[in-house]
Amino acid sequence: MKKRGEKIVMLTAYDYPSARLVEEAGVPIILVGDSLGMVVLGYDSTIPVTMEEMLHHVKAVMRGTARAHVVADMPFMSYQAGPADALRNAGRLLKEGGAQSVKLEGGARVAEAVRLLVESGIPVMGHLGLTPQSVNQFGGYKVQGKTPAAAVRLLNDAMALQEAGAYAIVLESVPAQVAQAITEKLAIPTIGIGAGPHCDGQVQVFHDLLGLFSNFAPKHAKRYAEAGELIRNAVREYVEGVKEGNFPTEKESYLMDERVFNSATHLA
């Protein structure tokens, strides 16, 4: 797709129904992100997400897909301790979860782990820029690569991941010019989120795309629907319908033949 100049579309999904909807809409790559910690499980960051939680959601997404390539995030501390840990946990995401590849955060410092995974037959997607698992180190969710030195570090990290065998790299919250420069330098695709229009592809979070949360709208996300408000209105209508006796009606009820009912004298 990169060679053809065809933009790559990736979107998150976290369960069976969202995976089915995303695939049916034509998305070729589905990311089961550790962002599920925040948008599905209610954590305040991705850091508490466990391997067992990731496996649970990867399995659900796999049951909802037939064609899309499914990428599973490696959660915090599933690979940071070293390549052996990375191999064991990445193997679980493929063997037990059914994912076709894994994504991990970091550049040169994780290159050895990336190389081992790839040599072991596990495709790896990298992730640079604002890497959410390092939010405490960054001091918050801040744009990365804004100084010349920081931009050069990002490029060097991207080259290290490519050399280690990563097949693509997510660039998150990176100045558009920096993302463009990295994209032009790499032979492998870049997939941006808050990294401007010049990456080879884009990824967004399912809940941001659909406006499922009214209290959070990141700058990099475009709301293509206000599904949260649609759901709230539908539920309010249901509540009112039940309270006012307008639901269920005969249309939503199962009826017995009156003659059969009348023959049951103890009921009639």
Q: How confident is the model at residue 68 (pLDDT cuts 50, 70, 90)?
A: very high
Taking the C-alpha atoms of residue 78 and residue 87, their distance in angstroms, rounded to an integer, is 9
Give the tens place of pLDDT for each residue, 14-55: 999 999 999 999 999 999 999 999 999 999 999 999 999 999
Which residues are part of the catalytic machinery? 172
- Give me the residue spans of the domains in the chain: 8-225, 230-263
Residue 141 clears pLDDT 60, i.e. is over it: no
Q: Answer whether 211's CB lies under 8 Å from 228's CB.
A: yes
Architecture of domain 8-225: Alpha-Beta Barrel (3.20)
Q: Give the other-Cβ count within 10 Å of 9's Cβ.
A: 17
Give the tens place of pLDDT for each residue, 99-132: 999 999 999 999 999 999 999 999 999 999 988 7
Sort residue 140 into left (φ over 0), alpha (ψ -120 to 50) or beta.
Answer: left
Please give the pLDDT value at position 258.
Answer: 85
Taking the C-alpha atoms of residue 187 and residue 192, their distance in angstroms, rounded to an integer, is 16
Query: What pTM did the predictor assign?
Result: 0.93
Find the distance separating the first CA and the last CA of the chain, reported in whole Å: 70
